[in-house]
């Protein structure tokens, strides 16, 4: 994804943000299975560590918004989180269970699902910071990717996994420990992403919000000139998709 694959005149690749999260509850197997069936080129997830050191796919620090439980992910055990349902808040939920599997999804579950799918799909894993366990989340993510044999891809383009973060330190930890693994430095400010920040840590791509990119679309050419591609989030409107296509964004994350 860092090979100058700006897609002027072509189509950006489509990443299902938190799974098909408009249609199914975010970060559930139901959301990812739908995204895969609908033909997503990639899927995005946020990961956090439980108190007992397991990587789970949850965006918020707390489980309150997306589950029938309450509390901080970092203070709950995996077993406690497995008791929760992550689907009831979503309009797609049905009493007959026809909404699909909305139990807790671990990163392990998601990697297996994506790697077992019938076509190659990229998994964009975002580590959240600041968090109680600091750098442990990156070392656990890398250990898991090593276990699946996908931490040292032949090339960034062929990699099945990409690790992303708003934290430059987190991206740097990944680059240092797994130099072949593609990374995205996320940021809400496109000028920051066009600065030396991404170069300093060796990120293979930069990830502005679509609002930030609209303010500074030159970021795409600047990134391409530095050998980096652009991943843009969260691109849900048709005119934003057209905009991303016109400036040469490689990957768009959409709900």
CB-CB contact of 214 with 233 (8 Å): no
Q: Does 126 bind Ca ion (CB under 5 A)?
A: yes
Residue from 11, 17, 27, 146 carrying the catalytic annotation = 17
What backbone torsions phi and psi does residue 149 show, to the nearest 5 degrees? Answer: 75, 25
Question: Which residue's CB comes closest to ligand G3P?
Answer: 233
**What is the CB neighbour count within 10 angstroms for residue 7?**
20
Minimum Å gap between C-beta 89 and Ca ion is: 18
Residue 187 touches which of Ca ion, ligand G3P, none (Cβ within 5-8 Å per kind): none
User: Which residue number, 30 or 186, has a Cβ lying nearer to ligand G3P?
Assistant: 186
CB-CB contact of 219 with 190 (8 Å): yes
Task: Rule CB under 6 A: choose which of 14, 161, 194, 253 binds ligand G3P.
Answer: 253
User: Which residue number, 57 or 150, has a Cβ lying nearer to ligand G3P?
Assistant: 57
Minimum Å gap between C-beta 231 and ligand G3P is: 7
Residues 201-220: x where in contact with ligand G3P by CB under 6 A, - otherwise, as a string: ------x-------------
Q: Does 46 bind ligand G3P (CB under 6 A)?
A: yes
Beta bridge partner(s), residue 127: 47
Residue from 27, 59, 129, 146 carrying the catalytic annotation = 59
User: Which residue number, 5 or 46, has a Cβ lying nearer to ligand G3P?
Assistant: 46
Task: Rule CB under 6 A: choose which of 5, 44, 138, 240 binds ligand G3P.
Answer: 44
CB-CB contact of 253 with 44 (8 Å): yes
User: Which residue number, 6 or 208, has a Cβ lying nearer to ligand G3P?
Assistant: 208
The two tokens of residue 198 are 């991404």
61 burial level (CB within 10 Å; 0-12, 13-18, 19+): middle
Q: With b meaning 16 or more CB within 10 Å and e meaning fewer, what string describes 29-40?
A: bbbbbbbbeeeb
* DSSP secondary structure string for all residues of 92-144: T--TTSTT---B--BHHHHHHHHHHSSS--EEEEEE-SS-TTTTHHHHHHHHH
59 is catalytic: yes
User: Which residue number, 231 or 243, has a Cβ lying nearer to ligand G3P?
Assistant: 231
Residues of this chain that interact with Ca ion (CB under 5 A) are 46, 126
Q: Which residues are catalytic?
A: 17, 59
Residues of this chain that interact with ligand G3P (CB under 6 A) are 17, 44, 46, 59, 126, 186, 207, 233, 253
């Amino acid at each position: 994804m860092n090979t100058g694959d700006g897609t002027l005149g072509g189509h950006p690749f489509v990443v299902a943000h938190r799974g098909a999260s408009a249609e199914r509850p975010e970060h559930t197997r139901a959301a990812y299975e739908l995204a895969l069936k609908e033909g997503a080129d990639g899927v995005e997830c946020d990961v956090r560590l439980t108190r007992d050191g397991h990587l789970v796919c949850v965006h918020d620090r707390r489980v309150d918004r997306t589950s029938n439980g309450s509390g901080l992910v970092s203070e709950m055990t995996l077993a406690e989180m497995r008791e929760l349902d992550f689907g009831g808040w979503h309009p797609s939920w049905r009493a007959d269970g026809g909404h699909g599997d909305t139990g807790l999804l671990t990163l392990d579950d998601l990697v297996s699902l994506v790697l077992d799918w019938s076509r190659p799909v990229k998994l964009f894993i975002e580590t959240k910071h600041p968090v109680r366990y600091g750098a442990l989340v990156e070392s656990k993510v890398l250990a898991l990717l090593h276990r699946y044999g996908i931490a040292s891809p032949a090339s960034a383009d062929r990699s099945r996994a990409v690790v992303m973060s708003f934290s430059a330190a987190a991206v740097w930890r990944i680059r240092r420990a797994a130099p072949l693994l593609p990374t995205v430095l996320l940021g809400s400010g496109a000028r920051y992403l066009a600065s030396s920040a991404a170069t300093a840590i060796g990120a293979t791509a930069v990830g502005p919000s679509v609002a930030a990119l609209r303010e500074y679309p030159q970021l795409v050419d600047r990134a391409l000139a530095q050998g980096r591609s652009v991943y843009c989030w969260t691109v849900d409107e048709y005119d934003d998709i057209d905009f991303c296509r016109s400036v040469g964004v490689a990957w768009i994350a959409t709900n």
